[in-house]
Structure 1
Amino acid sequence: MASNGSDRRVVITGLGTVTALGHDIDTFWKNIIAGQCGVDRITSFDPTAYDCQIAAEVKDFDPSPAFPSPKEVRRTDRFAQLGIYAGWRALQDSGMDLEKLDRDQIGAFIGSGIGGIQTHADQHTVLMNKGPGRISPFLIPMMILNMASGVFSMYYKLRGPNLATCSACATSTHALGEAWRYIKMGDANAIFAGGTEAAVCEMGIGGFAAMRALSTRNAEPKRASRPFDKDRDGFVMGEGAAVLVVEELEHAKARGARIYCELVGYGNTADANHLTAPAPDGEGAARCMKMALRSAGLRPEDISYINAHGTSTPQGDVCETQAIKSVFGDHAKKLAVSSTKGATGHLLGAAGATEMALCAKALQTQIAPPTLNLDNPDPQCDLDYVPHTAREMKIEAIANNSFGFGGHNATVIAKRFVG
């Protein structure tokens, strides 16, 4: 058992991503800083009858390198395929040799906001058309949202802590924060933490469209997701996954790991306000960022860059801006704040970890990723959102925000690693 003690330092040593802009972190980062956009007309089904006909889909995806056999792939919903693949990518990127490590001290926290929605829909059709006797025995294990975390741990014999967080669009940021806590308190030496989502399907698009949450800028898919822009009209759904290797510093050093950055703080609060709307003036988000700063032992002016939740919704972007100004005061105007959802769409439960992977690269390369499509800034969104073009700048510490339906707020803070 690892020794207990909150003085343990926690670092990120592996990045695994699969998004519409690439199936590995290097391709993803290259496309992000080049200002590429992964949004296009939906191809996985005919979207003609839907108000929203666009999404950021993961195309040409082959999960098989991460699975022991084709049969195991077939027994797994797409959301879990994406999550397990991202975990495999993170393992490769980390250089971790599991055969030489104590797997009782290595865990997996891979969450999802929705889980196996396509399997659910498909098997409901079977039930209605053919009766209950024809329902697949794999319906439940394919549908339930803990299976990415569970199956990944089975494939790699990870016997440490195992969780599947579920807090809507804050899911994978909570996974990272909880991994930080577990490791800091000595309950694990390393955790594969993140989230996965595959909700670009008839039920997923139809459900969010019925809420009027999605953009209907169907004729201009690459200009549809426009965080903080005056002409934004809703978010664009994305799919994909991100898993990060979160590791105790001495454990990482002992195996000669490359270290991207150090995780230093975590905030988790509730709005207790509304099913889908943020608290007025971003009050809950502000408390969350303050909690993260307190736990990190940092001052507001220590933060250089914020990866905003910034979903391109009329209300959410204003409330987040207000929250940032409330927490950071005069320093808010000096921050670089960007939302990468203009490029990736909104990956729901996978969004936070995907964006944290970009934050890790930002700290490593000293480049802030841009906010795409910010052509006509909203007067109520009056910060520096790094419009259009990536920016070389000094980045010492970052905050990564995620907020979810149900009033869930999550913030993680990381800083440039100094041995």
Structure 2
Amino acid sequence: MDKRRVVVTGVGAVTPLGNDAETTWNNLITGVSGIGPLTRVNADDFPAKVAAEVKEFDPTDFMEKKDARKMDRFAQFAVAASIMAVKDSGLDINEENSEQVGVWIGSGIGGMETFENQYQNFLNKGYRRVSPFFVPMLIPDMAAGQVSITLGARGVNSCTVTACATGTNSIGDAFKVIQRGDALAMVTGGAEAPITNMSVAGFCANTALSTNPDPKTACRPFDADRDGFILGEGAGIVVLEELEHALARGAHIYAEIVGYGSTGDAYHITAPAPGGEGGARAMKMAINDGGLKPEEIDYINAHGTSTAYNDKFETAAIKEIFADHATRLAISSTKSMTGHLLGAAGGIEAIISVLSIKEGIIPPTINYVTSDPECDLDYVPNEARKQDVTAAMSNSLGFGGHNATIVFKKYN
């Protein structure tokens, strides 16, 4: 059976760089950082002092206040980004097509803020003061559920939870839903709101976060002086659509999604496998799935967390798959500006990848100052690069050994 072709027709975002995709992109390509002082919790309680927080987000711009009160912050982000993505796509979800429009949105940890607040209510006042909306606000799948309800999308409805690979796995899984004929369109990506006391405490306890107190230099992927990632929040959502359906309604097409790879390290709960071999297999799988050759990839939006192991092993994995072409690839970690949005990272980075194809601009890796002999590829240091991008790859690698890669190419 021939695979159906799938294209990206809409994008929507809420990020530390802006509360829509356009603002986020414009800030990225000018090297603006969304990282600032940690304010959503008391920074004096933690060794990490900076974060990538969403600013001036008002959920009532997208939903009724009574509905917003029944959603955790991560679900609010998902609903807002999805509304913007569908509007951008021009897709009319109605009674005739609603069963063929699905939602696949993941979250790495779900409603942590809700959990912490309601647990305090329980401890201080007993079970009767726990909100009846506690469980629906907490569970990670409620982003997809709330988006489905808001949009009236009644097709495939699912949620992937694969830590930092969540957003990329979600988009890849949604791509396959359309490709095999189970939907005409999917609203997909990731959402996360992890800047809470327990999340920050947990990541500090396992020494994953940077302790550099300077927001301007704390996140420095692939740089020799990197010391950990910066916790971020937000949502990145794309509308995927079966090509013929998109053409029939005259949709604007950003790019075509052609490949998806997903693998497991089977090695360690937090550390990547030596040499990044699991990530390498995901990249190879995605390239093969897209019917491409490694040398046809122009740009990689790297996982690039600014941690010692990830950056070294992701570099090694790229070298393994791309061989001599690795030195000719443009690679950047936009987490240097957005921070690490955990389950939402892959959603944001998919948007960045398709916009790099559409606009012919590759965002930089900012704060790259000191070269690391183990990270010796072209990371597009400090300034965006105008370059034609025919095919772009996005990598996401998560705790638990989850590896996910998706490949986009220019639509012809």
State the TM-score, normalized to the length of structure 2: 0.99
Contact 2:100–2:185 (CA<8 Å) still a contact in 1? yes
* Alpha-carbon distance in structure 2 between the residues aligned to 1:125 and 1:6: 54
1:202-281 equivalences in 2 (<5 Å): 202-218=197-213, 220-281=214-275
Q: Which residue of 1 aligns with 2:336?
A: 342
1:229-248 Cα distance to aligned partner (Å, 9 max, x none):
00000000110001100110
Against the structure 1 CA distance between its residues 145 and 51, is the aligned structure 2 distance closer, same or farther, given a 3 Å change threshold?
same
Q: Which residue of 2 aligns with 1:167?
A: 162
* Alpha-carbon distance in structure 1 between the residues aligned to 2:94 and 2:267: 48
Shifted more, 347-356 versus 46-55: the winner is 46-55
Q: Which residue of 1 aligns with 2:56?
A: 60
Against the structure 1 CA distance between its residues 341 and 8, is the aligned structure 2 distance closer, same or farther, given a 3 Å change threshold?
same
Give the residue type in structure 2 aligned to 1:34: T
Give the residue type in structure 2 aligned to 1:333: T
1:324-343 Cα distance to aligned partner (Å, 9 max, x none):
00000000000000000000
Q: Which residue of 2 aligns with 1:332?
A: 326
Give the residue type in structure 2 aligned to 1:179: A
* Alpha-carbon distance in structure 2 between the residues aligned to 1:256 and 1:101: 18
Contact 1:196–1:349 (CA<8 Å) still a contact in 2? yes
Shifted more, 409-418 versus 88-97: the winner is 88-97
* Alpha-carbon distance in structure 1 between the residues aligned to 2:2 and 2:246: 17
Q: Which residue of 2 aligns with 1:139?
A: 134
Contact 1:38–1:222 (CA<8 Å) still a contact in 2? no
The reply on whether 1:402 has 2:399 as its aligned counterpart is no
1:301-354 Cα distance to aligned partner (Å, 9 max, x none):
000000000000001100000000000000000000000000000000000110
Match of residue 38, structure 1, among 34, 40, 46: 34
Percent identity for Structure 1 against Structure 2 = 52
Q: Which residue of 2 aligns with 1:360?
A: 354
Q: Which residue of 1 aligns with 2:186?
A: 191
* Alpha-carbon distance in structure 1 between the residues aligned to 2:238 and 2:147: 13
Unaligned runs of 5+ residues in structure 2 are none
1:84-114 Cα distance to aligned partner (Å, 9 max, x none):
1110110111111223751100000011000
Contact 2:101–2:184 (CA<8 Å) still a contact in 1? yes
Q: Which residue of 2 aligns with 1:125?
A: 120
Is the partner of 2:45 in helix, strand or coil? Answer: coil
Q: Which residue of 2 aligns with 1:48?
A: 44
Contact 2:11–2:238 (CA<8 Å) still a contact in 1? yes
1:247-282 Cα distance to aligned partner (Å, 9 max, x none):
100111111110000000000000000000000000
* Alpha-carbon distance in structure 2 between the residues aligned to 1:311 and 1:362: 20
Q: Which residue of 1 aligns with 2:145?
A: 150
Q: Which residue of 2 aligns with 1:297?
A: 291
Contact 2:94–2:152 (CA<8 Å) still a contact in 1? no
* Alpha-carbon distance in structure 2 between the residues aligned to 1:94 and 1:206: 39
Match of residue 316, structure 1, among 310, 313, 318: 310
- The alignment of Structure 1 onto Structure 2 pairs a total of residues equal to 412
The reply on whether 1:109 has 2:104 as its aligned counterpart is yes
Give the residue type in structure 2 aligned to 1:52: A
Question: Per-residue deviation at 1:285?
Answer: 0.5
* Alpha-carbon distance in structure 2 between the residues aligned to 1:8 and 1:374: 41
* Alpha-carbon distance in structure 2 between the residues aligned to 1:383 and 1:412: 21
Contact 2:79–2:150 (CA<8 Å) still a contact in 1? no
* Alpha-carbon distance in structure 1 between the residues aligned to 2:95 and 2:302: 38
The reply on whether 1:21 has 2:17 as its aligned counterpart is yes
Contact 2:283–2:405 (CA<8 Å) still a contact in 1? yes
* Alpha-carbon distance in structure 1 between the residues aligned to 2:216 and 2:75: 27
Is the partner of 1:188 in helix, strand or coil? Answer: coil
Give the residue type in structure 1 aligned to 2:282: C
* Alpha-carbon distance in structure 2 between the residues aligned to 1:355 and 1:307: 7
Give the residue type in structure 1 aligned to 2:136: P
* Alpha-carbon distance in structure 2 between the residues aligned to 1:343 and 1:140: 33
Question: Per-residue deviation at 1:65?
Answer: 2.9
Q: Which runs of 4+ in 1 moved over 3 A?
A: none
* Alpha-carbon distance in structure 1 between the residues aligned to 2:2 and 2:88: 27
Question: Per-residue deviation at 1:368?
Answer: 0.6
Is the partner of 1:98 in helix, strand or coil? Answer: coil
Q: Which residue of 2 aligns with 1:9?
A: 5
